Amino acid sequence: MPGHKLDPIDRHILAELQADGRMTNVELARRVGISAPPCLRRVRALEEAGYIRGYHADVNPRELGFEVQVFAQVSLKSQAEVELSAFEARCRAWPLVRECHMLNGEVDFILKCVAPDLPTFQTFLTEELTAAPNVAGVRTSLVIRGAKDDPGVPFDVLEARLARSA
């Protein structure tokens, strides 16, 4: 079961850093109930093992002038691995695409896009996304407002699951 390789202190460290990645090591150690040097060693080990992928500021797109958020459902003509990989590489190169997820079912990918305004997104949609090789179709949904945007994973669910399996 994922998560079982970590002890409760490691999971507590991850939960605290997920909630506030800017806290000092001293504060993190206090919150998880260990001293600072072993806390720092554990954080470094979690980073090296890939549990922590990075630290990011949660910027407000609207405050920066990105008023438009769109989810685009993309269907491809071919689902051959070389075509899927090529589309993913294209998505990584497009600045307006902030997330790209391959799906199963009728839609091959869902993209989360941001743009400063509708004309900018429309230009991207018509000149880049729908014009990209192997794209069969695109359906878009404009976000009216967001109700929830939690990062990471729900550690309380993980802990409850681990407690049931113990």
Mean pLDDT per segment of 10 residues, for the chain of length 166 residues? 77 96 96 97 96 93 96 97 98 98 96 98 98 97 94 91 86
Cα 51 versus chain centre, distance:
14
Full DSSP string of 103-139: -SSS-SEEEEEEESSHHHHHHHIIIIITTSTTEEEEE
| pLDDT score for 1 | 44
| pLDDT score for 163 | 87
Distance between CA atoms of residues 50 and 70, nearest Å: 30
User: CB within 8 A of 73, min separation 6: which ones?
Assistant: 107, 109, 110, 138, 139, 140, 141
Domains, the chain, with CATH or none: 1-58 (1.10.10.10), 62-142 (3.30.70.920)
**Dihedral through CA 14, CA 20, CA 25, CA 30, nearest 10?**
-80
| pLDDT score for 142 | 97
Distance between CA atoms of residues 151 and 99, nearest Å: 13
Q: Is the dihedral of CA 50, 16, 9, 30 positive or negative?
A: positive
Q: Taking the CB of residue 6, how many other CB atoms lie within 10 A of it?
A: 18
